[in-house]
Amino acid sequence: MALYMRYSYDGDNWSDKLVYFETYEKEKYDMVSPAIIRDDGAYKVWYVCHYQLYYRELRNGVWSQPQPTDLTFEDGAYVWHPDVIKTNRGYELLACATTNKKDRKHMNLYFSASEDGFNWETAMKVASPSDDYTAWDGGGLYRPSFIYANNHYIVMYSARNDYNDFGIGLLVGRNMFNLHGTDLDYLYNGQADVSRLWDYLNNDL
Which tens digits make up the pLDDT trace of 128-144? 999 999 999 999 999 99
- pLDDT averaged over 10-residue windows placed end to end, the chain, 205 residues: 95 95 94 96 97 97 96 98 96 98 97 98 97 94 95 93 91 92 68 65 65
Domain 69-204 falls under CATH 3.40.50.720 = no
- By residue count, the chain amounts to 205
Nearest CA-CA partner of 133 in 102, 110, 104, 163: 163
Q: To the nearest 10°, report the CA torsion of 25, 28, 29, 32.
A: 110
Q: How far, in Å, CA of 83 to CA of 45, rounded?
A: 10
- Indicate the SS3 state at residue 28: helix
Which tens digits make up the pLDDT trace of 61-81? 999 999 999 999 999 999 999
Answer for the pair 24, 30: CB distance below 8 angstroms, yes or no: no
pLDDT, residue 199, reads 73
- Angle 34-158-174 (CA atoms, 0-180°, nearest 5)? 90
pLDDT, residue 182, reads 78
Q: How far, in Å, CA of 45 to CA of 31, rounded?
A: 9
Q: How far, in Å, CA of 190 to CA of 199, rounded?
A: 17
Nearest CA-CA partner of 142 in 33, 3, 27, 26: 33
pLDDT, residue 205, reads 55
Q: Where are the domains of the chain?
A: 69-204
